[in-house]
Structure 1
Amino acid sequence: MTSQPEDADRRTYSYLGPAGTFTEAALAQVPEARAQIWRPVRNVGEALSDVVEGRSDAAMIAIENSVDGGVSTAQDALATMPGLRIVGEYLVPVDFVLVARPGTKLEDVSLVAAHPVAYSQCLQWLSRTLPGHAHIPASSNVASAMGLIDGTSDADAAIAPPGILDHHELELLAEKIGDNLNAVTRFVLVSRPVAPPPPTGADKTSLIAELPDDHPGALLEMLEQFATRGINLSLLASRPIGDELGRYRFVIDADGHIEDERMADALLGLRRFSPKVIFLGSYPRADRVIVRYPDRYSDDVFIEARDWLRGLISGEPES
């Protein structure tokens, strides 16, 4: 009888690699992922395909940035790839460092490699510190630094995540060079469909919904499914469906859990209204902030109203 491979009982997690990315930093926050197999991939589509096709148990992907807004590639992938469920969210501060080959000094830098988004988020610092610099676009935050290491880049320095220094011998020229010190990226852990974890009181529900047709007030009608039940939306983003001009789907994050009576009632209303609703998951909020709502939207109020209606239907006298 042959023994099982050492990795047979370990779970596999896909993330945007290589090592040192912000996505790796998000995955490091997942307790159950520690000492498991981490599979670096090249893009969001590959990460989610790993999950759908069974190569990975879960994937960590960026979904929203406090500076640049929603990550459209991730939102579109979740809308078009069936068989996925968000099981957790994680926040990573967006902090950048300027690195170079060993021995380089800051005054030697005139050509800087950076992903265009990272470059734009550090432009004020660069303009103050290196006013005569030029920019070489890189395909990713880590690729900007890797080009220095393997000699494929002509840049003198690179903008990269701080985690790059844990994996490669590079000269740290400056740290905390981002223009917005409060910038944060929100990541979600995505698995195949599973039952949502029990409600904690500090939960979020993610959905994607389409409008039934294009008519005045259609978006308002969709939003009323939440507003009339006291549910706050922390994210509402439109994405083109792609089949014709003027057709959009809406990515929604709603405060609360599917097992909350008000959320369940809202989802039923949304299902009746929308031709297509994708439930992406209910999961604990990364900030663990308790969801507050007026007493008139408590579970007891919904349950009492439902019991009252059942009594009317059954002919019970009203008390």
Structure 2
Amino acid sequence: MSTASAGTRTYSYLGPAGTFTEAALGQVREAEGQNWHPVANVGAALDDVASGRSDAAMIAIENTVEGGVSSAQDALANTPGLRIIGEYLVPVSFVLVAPRGTTLDQVAEVAAHPVAYAQCLEWLGKNVPGHSPVVAASNVASAIGVLDGTLPAQAAIAAPGVVNHYDVEVLAEGIGDNPDAVTRFVLVTRTALPPARTGADKTSLIVELPKEVPGALVDMLEQFATRGINLSLIQSRPIGDRLGRYRFVIDADGHIADERMADALMGLKRFSPNVIYLGSYPRADHEQNRYNPRYADASFADARDWLRDLLSGADPA
């Protein structure tokens, strides 16, 4: 049961304390002073929301280096009754940490979350040549595992926030290969009305294609292209029932309350066996959506009025 009735809201996030996800949750004003519940993975965070144990969950959904986070996309596709209500951007940088007294030349194994490890390969190749990677569940779990000996590594790749929570030796800072790396996080609740449109909005969807229908992908894309809607993300994920079957994770510029977006969603529903609407919400960068004037709400209203006149036997002006 949700804690909201007791006056305190609960927010689940990938823990423990010190992760990038915690930093993203720190950007949510409504979460200040509330109960923050660390969990082991994205699936657990979303299950908390779906079951009512938490009011919302913060999850990583996309990275500028690695692209979409597949575990989050799959969890959203397979957990019904969820809505994205906001997105948050966190600059990504990494530190290499170890137990006190450790020096860089003593490091032969490096613990890291796979996504973090992939973003530090160039630095590691130059500064810790010949090392072996050790997989960790999160950027903070890597540091904890090295400190308590549960992971067979001498050092760990972690988020900078780890130094605020654990007594570690910082062997190196800024070890990420891309100084401009950013991770996009989304705040997920149970099904609810979307936030009011701002003109700088994004709509997230998951769309399945009909089985064995030639041109189905083109049909899907045309629902957006013919209505002047830009797609900022489109990524395929296997459905899992058999080879060659995929669903598409889509971020489209605009809000479900926009005529062009509503029309596109209806077009998708006509041919797709499964359209999952994940939500419409303000863009984190606050950049206004751009579109040709012929796709403005007024243009759709004019077209409907014109058709209504034709159906009534009137002579449209």
Flag whether TM exceeds 0.5 (same fold).
Answer: yes
The equivalent of 2:38 in structure 1 is: 40
Deviates more, 1:56-65 or 1:112-121: 112-121
Gaps of 5+ in 2: none
Tell whether 2:34 aligns with 1:29: no
Secondary structure of residue in 2 paired with 1:152? coil
Deviations 1:7-33 (A, max 9, x none): 921100000111111111111111111
Deviation by residue 1:211-254 (Cα, 9 ceiling, x = unmatched): 12322211101110110000011111111222222221111111
The one-letter amino acid of 1:99's match is: V
2:99 is aligned, of 101, 104, 113, to 101
Please point out which of 276, 279, 290 is paired with 1:278.
Answer: 276
Amino acid corresponding to residue 65 of structure 1 in structure 2? N
Aligned to 1:82: 80
1:189 aligns with 2:194: no
**Are residues 1:126 and 2:124 paired?**
yes
Alpha-carbon distance change, 131 to 306 in structure 1, aligned in 2, over 3 angstroms: same
In structure 1, distance between residues paired with 2:59 and 2:138: 14
Within the candidate set 167, 170, 194, 2:168 is matched to: 170
Q: CA deviation at 1:97?
A: 0.2
CA distance in structure 2 between the aligned counterparts of 1:38 and 1:148, rounded to whole angstroms: 25
Mapped pair 1:55 → 2:53: yes
Per mean C-alpha deviation after superposition, the further-off stretch among 217-226 and 238-247 is 238-247
1:299 maps to 297
Question: 1:191, CA displacement in angstroms?
Answer: 0.3
Following the alignment from structure 1 to structure 2, what is the Cα–Cα distance between the partners of residues 234 and 149? 40
Mapped to 2, the partners of 1:133 and 1:181 lie a distance apart of 23
Structure 1 residues 275, 137: closer, same or farther in 2, change over 3 A?
closer
When the two structures are aligned, how many residues end up with a matched partner? 315
Note the C-alpha offset of 1:168.
0.9
Change (3 A) 1:134 1:225: closer
How far apart in 2 are the matches of 1:6 and 1:168?
31
- What is the CA–CA distance in structure 2 between the aligned matches of 1:285 and 1:16, rounded to whole Å? 22
2:4 and 2:55 in contact (8 A); partners too: no
Q: Deviations over 1:47-88 (max 9, x none)?
A: 111111110000111111211121112111111211100001
Looking at structure 1, the residues matched to 210 and 131 of structure 2 have their Cα atoms a distance apart, in angstroms, of 51
In 2: Cα distance, 1:242 partner to 1:307 partner: 45
Please state whether the residue corresponding to 1:185 is helix, strand or coil.
Answer: strand
- The structure-2 alpha-carbon separation of the partners of 1:132 and 1:73, relative to structure 1 and needing over 3 Å to count, comes to closer
Q: Which moved more, 1:227-236 or 1:147-156?
A: 147-156
Q: Give the RMSD, CA atoms, in angstroms.
A: 1.8
Report SS of the residue matched to 2:223: helix
Which has the higher mean CA deviation after the structures are superposed, 78-87 or 207-216? Answer: 207-216
Tell me how far 1:152 sits from its aligned partner. Answer: 2.8
Offset at 1:99? 1.0
**Matches of 2:118 and 2:250, distance apart in 1:** 27
- Between the aligned partners of 1:229 and 1:111, the Cα distance in structure 2 is 52
How far is 1:179 from its partner?
0.6
Match of 2:66 among 51, 63, 68: 68
Q: Look up the match of 1:141.
A: 139
- Using the alignment, how far apart are the partners of 1:132 and 1:210 within structure 2? 43
Amino acid of the structure 1 residue aligned with 2:196: P
TM-score by length of 1: 0.94
The residue identity in structure 2 corresponding to 1:93 is P
Secondary structure at the counterpart of residue 37 of structure 2:
strand
In 2, Cα distance between equivalents of 1:74 and 1:154:
28
Alignment of structure 1 residues 149-228 onto 2, 5 Å: 149-228=147-226
Shift of 1:6: 12
Greater CA drift, 139-148 or 251-260: 139-148
User: What's the secondary structure of 2:156's corresponding residue?
Assistant: strand
Task: Kindly provide the amino acid, as one letter, of the partner of residue 317 in structure 1.
Answer: D
Give the Cα–Cα distance (whole angstroms) in 2 for the partners of residues 178 and 281 of structure 1: 32
Identity, in percent, stands at 70
Instruction: Name the CA distance, whole Å, in 2 between partners of 1:134 and 1:302.
Output: 59
**TM-score, normalised by the number of residues in structure 2:** 0.94
Q: Distance in 2 between matches of 1:208 and 1:120?
A: 26
